[in-house]
Amino acid sequence: MASVNIPARPLRQRILLAFGFCFAVLGFLNAVPDLGPLPSIGVIPAVDLHPAVFASGFIISFLAISRFSGGSSAILATALNAILVCVGLYALWSFNVAVTRIENVGLFFFEEFHAWMTVTGCVIILYFCWRIWGLPLAVVGTLALLYFFFGEHLPGILGHAGMDFVQDTPAELWYNTGDGVMGNILAILVNTVFPFIIMGAVLEGTGGGASMIKLSFHAMRRFRGGPAHAAIMASSLFGTVSGSAVANVVGTGVITIPMIRKRGFRPTFAGGVEATASTGGQIMPPIMGAAALVMADFIAIDYLIIIVAAIVPAVAYYASLFTTVMFEARSLGVEATAESEMDPVTLQDWISLILVIVPISIVVIALILGFSPAGSAMIALSVLLVLSFLNPEMRRKPILVAESFARGGVTFGRLLMAIGTVSIIIAVLGATGLPLEFAKVISSNAGQNLLLALVFAAVAALILGMGMPTLPAYLTIIIILGPSLTSLGLTDLTAHFFVFYFGVASAITPPVAMAAFAAASISGGGAIGTAVQATRIGIVIFAIPFFFAFNPQMLIVAEAGGAFALGGFVFLLLRLALLIYMLASAASRFDRGKMSVWEVISRAAAGLLLIHPSALVGGIAALASLALIALHYGVLSRKEAGA
């Protein structure tokens, strides 16, 4: 393997990585379980840990967006960023002083100073969220903050009782460790998600990803779709490590997309395949996206249960991608490639695969043994840091391991600006009671119509998820619509999974499809065209949540609400397989041959009817699906025989 040359990094980048490394060490020590020789500093009180973590996030965000050279405008922008960071650090210090006094003395009266500190801190978070994550999430956070102060003047259910600026503003938004910016959501992220982000960064940086892609291409070499099937396989494995759709696209797409195009697929289709495969990484157990980890804490369910519940939906989604690529390859007449066109698999590739398999296996085993998710991640990370030296590049340049570790800290520091904005939204919703009013309206309009409520929740999740990371989108929607869904009979687990899936799907849904746009930049296809292709290829991701909402036994676990029976589960899997086949072929307008419009409509209708929970309706839909497939093959066979 050729040696990797590490280019000299700018001073700002070196400082950023150094700070990220120190931040990751703090996260590591905070999460490591009390286990033998591993260093552990125990549980740091939230009143000290939370402002320290957010202070690190401010500094990392400042270093990430600022430029210390260039024109006067760049220097002025950097000076403004520095001033905002200093003011933000003062607001965090004020939080520590006030909340420490509240916890020690009990009696505390807020003053106008505390109210203005709260507003200042929230505005600075919104500013850095805008600079790091773009406008959509920052705009939603700004509207939430404005609603807190002026919502009493709005009509109908939007109006609230009004807030006292001096007493309610600091108490509800900033100076508490419950529902405020420094509250429960931040605690979940720091104590549960941070360790997995560090582990994911180290996994990405220690060489397992490239070998995983090469082995995926080797495994898929005899399939028509070849590189496209390999992209799906590699992205499912890589995505369960990275937990980020865009990061997954960038990490694997630079290799897979050019090879998919070389096989004869259109640029937009090549980008769409990579976008959909990368997006699914967040729903692929055992290491899913940050939202799944937050979900476990949010609804007080063991993360192992989340993993088990995710298995069937995730496998179904990736099966649908394989099926769609198969139909596309048939329609284009693409044939399997010769093995000589591919790079040979070496012994080092198999050795590097250990860097992925062993840590993930350790996480699962540790969870089964009763360790917390964070403790499981830290045990796996400790082993991974040692195993990373199986890669000769890591042995030659150990600094690469340290840089991967540091990137985990940088990634989490940037994520904190999005989480801070979500915490503002959640604090406002909790203080004003809007979700409960919203639930009453949905219940009164939808009545007992679960389908209508689910459609409303799905559309809302897709709209709010556009341009947002999955975690903020999921949290925002579940806080607003969760009570409505559970009031109509869904369990907490099923309701959260439903919203989570549509939050994930928003990454490939136009007009703002971040994963598809990232793939388009590599494939050379149009951004919107790639997003449309991604939606077509991943069409089944929009049906799966409805399937498990009406058939909760699909999630296997009792917490989903369905009574598990082997016979019923087998029939469910049959219906699910037919749904995948019918929707994938309908979206492709191709099976063994090109389909007419009436065939497409008939297959789509039969596929959607397979979701119905009634055994009678599901059975009829299954028979209709089989009949449509048989008719299609029969007609084509007769045409070929008469030709």
Determine the distance from the C-alpha atom of residue 206 to the mean position of all C-alpha atoms in its chain, rounded to a whole number.
Answer: 22
Tell me how far apart the alpha carbons of residues 549 and 178 are, in angstroms, rounded to a whole number: 31
Q: What pLDDT is recorded for position 574?
A: 94
Q: What pLDDT is recorded for position 37?
A: 56
Contact 407, 23 (CB under 8 A): no
Most confident option among 193-207, 414-428, 566-580: 566-580
* Close Cβ partners of 345 (under 8 Å, ≥ 6 residues apart): 214, 215, 218
Share of the chain above pLDDT 90, in %: 12
The secondary element (H helix, E strand) that includes residue 592 is none
Contact 564, 552 (CB under 8 A): no
Contact 408, 198 (CB under 8 A): yes
Tell me how far apart the alpha carbons of residues 398 and 451 are, in angstroms, rounded to a whole number: 55
Tell me how far apart the alpha carbons of residues 594 and 257 are, in angstroms, rounded to a whole number: 26
Give 408-467 pLDDT, tens digit per residue. Answer: 888 888 888 888 888 888 888 878 877 767 666 766 666 567 888 888 888 877 877 666
The secondary element (H helix, E strand) that includes residue 290 is helix 290-298
Mean pLDDT of 142-146: 88
Q: What pLDDT is recorded for position 643?
A: 59
Res 4 pLDDT > 50: no
HEC string of 524-586?
A: CCCHHHHHHHHHHHCCHHHHHHHHHHHCHHHHCCHHHCCCCCHHHHHHHHHHHHHHHHHHHHH
Provide the 8-state DSSP code for 154: S
Mean pLDDT of 552-572: 85
Among 119, 140, 118, smallest CA distance to 130 is for 140
Position with higher pLDDT, 292 vs 548: 548
590: helix, strand or coil: strand
Domain ranges of the chain: 11-182, 573-638
Q: What pLDDT is recorded for position 312?
A: 92
Give 367-403 pLDDT, tens digit per residue. Answer: 777 777 777 777 888 888 888 887 777 778 888 888 8
Beta strands in 235-372 (DSSP E): none
Torsion sign over Cα 455, 457, 463, 466: negative
* Burial degree of 588 (CB within 10 A; 0-12, 13-18, 19+): buried
pLDDT band per the 50, 70, 90 thresholds, residue 623: very high
Q: Write the DSSP string, 204-271.
A: HHTTHHHHHHHHHHHHTTTSTTTHHHHHHHHHHHHHHHH--HHHHHHHHHHHHHHHHHHTT--HHHHH
pLDDT band per the 50, 70, 90 thresholds, residue 188: confident
Rg of the chain over all Cα atoms, to the nearest angstrom: 25
Contacts of 80-87 with C-beta under 8 Å, sequence gap 24+, read 84/124, 84/127, 84/128, 85/58, 85/59, 85/124, 87/120, 87/124
Provide the 8-state DSSP code for 38: S
Mean pLDDT of 600-622: 91
Contact 269, 531 (CB under 8 A): no
Give 215-236 pLDDT, tens digit per residue. Answer: 777 776 667 666 777 777 777 7
- What value does the mean pLDDT of the chain take? 80
Q: What pLDDT is recorded for position 532?
A: 87
Tell me how far apart the alpha carbons of residues 417 and 411 are, in angstroms, rounded to a whole number: 11
Tell me how far apart the alpha carbons of residues 412 and 22 are, in angstroms, rounded to a whole number: 12
Q: What pLDDT is recorded for position 392?
A: 78
Contact 242, 200 (CB under 8 A): yes
Res 533 pLDDT > 70: yes
Q: What pLDDT is recorded for position 221?
A: 67
Q: What pLDDT is recorded for position 6?
A: 46
Q: What pLDDT is recorded for position 439?
A: 65
Mean pLDDT of 238-257: 66
Share of the chain above pLDDT 70, in %: 86
Give 465-517 pLDDT, tens digit per residue. Answer: 666 667 777 877 787 777 778 877 889 899 999 988 888 888 888 776 777 87
Tell me how far apart the alpha carbons of residues 402 and 383 are, in angstroms, rounded to a whole number: 15
User: Interior CA angle at 404 toward 183 and 382, to 5°?
Assistant: 75
pLDDT band per the 50, 70, 90 thresholds, residue 25: confident
Tell me how far apart the alpha carbons of residues 222 and 212 are, in angstroms, rounded to a whole number: 17
Measure Cα distances from 50 to 53, 111, 177 in Å.
5, 22, 9
Res 242 pLDDT > 60: no
Give the HSE-up count for residue 14: Cα atoms under 13 Å, Cβ half-sphere.
Answer: 7
pLDDT band per the 50, 70, 90 thresholds, residue 114: confident
Mean pLDDT of 568-581: 92
CB crowding 408-418: b at 16 or more within 10 Å, else e: bbbbbbbbbbb
Mean pLDDT of 236-258: 67
